[in-house]
Amino acid sequence: MTLVVRVDEKGRVVIPKSIREKAKMREGGYVKVTAKEKSIIMEPLEPFADKYFGAFQIDKWPEDLDEFAVEVIKKWWASQAT
């Protein structure tokens, strides 16, 4: 599928919906942009969470996820010091 789109004054282009759907691009998702000579290649990146969905079973989520993450990092950091 090939379409022609306009580049605006800030260098932005709108990727037509039909192409976003075909490439499975999501709103808020990320793309890898590569320049090769006179071509620009955009590849949607798979969300990290989707890649590992179901890999871990969680019986109960912590009440404060930020606090939980800080504690886990502190424990990991302490284990690295020994």
Indicate the SS3 state at residue 73. helix
pLDDT digits (tens, 9 = 90+) for 65-80: 888 888 889 998 988 8
Each as own residue / partner, the long-range contacts of residues 37-44 (CB below 8 Å, 24 or more positions apart, any chain) are: 42/15
Question: Residue 49's pLDDT is what?
Answer: 66
Band (pLDDT 50/70/90 cuts) for residue 82 is: low
pLDDT digits (tens, 9 = 90+) for 25-49: 988 888 999 999 999 999 998 876 6
Measure CA of the first residue to CA of the last residue in the chain; give whole Å.
Answer: 57
Strand segments (E) across the chain? 31-36, 39-44
Task: State the pTM of this model.
Answer: 0.54
Residue 19 burial (CB < 10 Å; 0-12/13-18/19+)? middle
| Sign of the torsion angle spanned by Cα atoms 32, 37, 38, 39 | negative
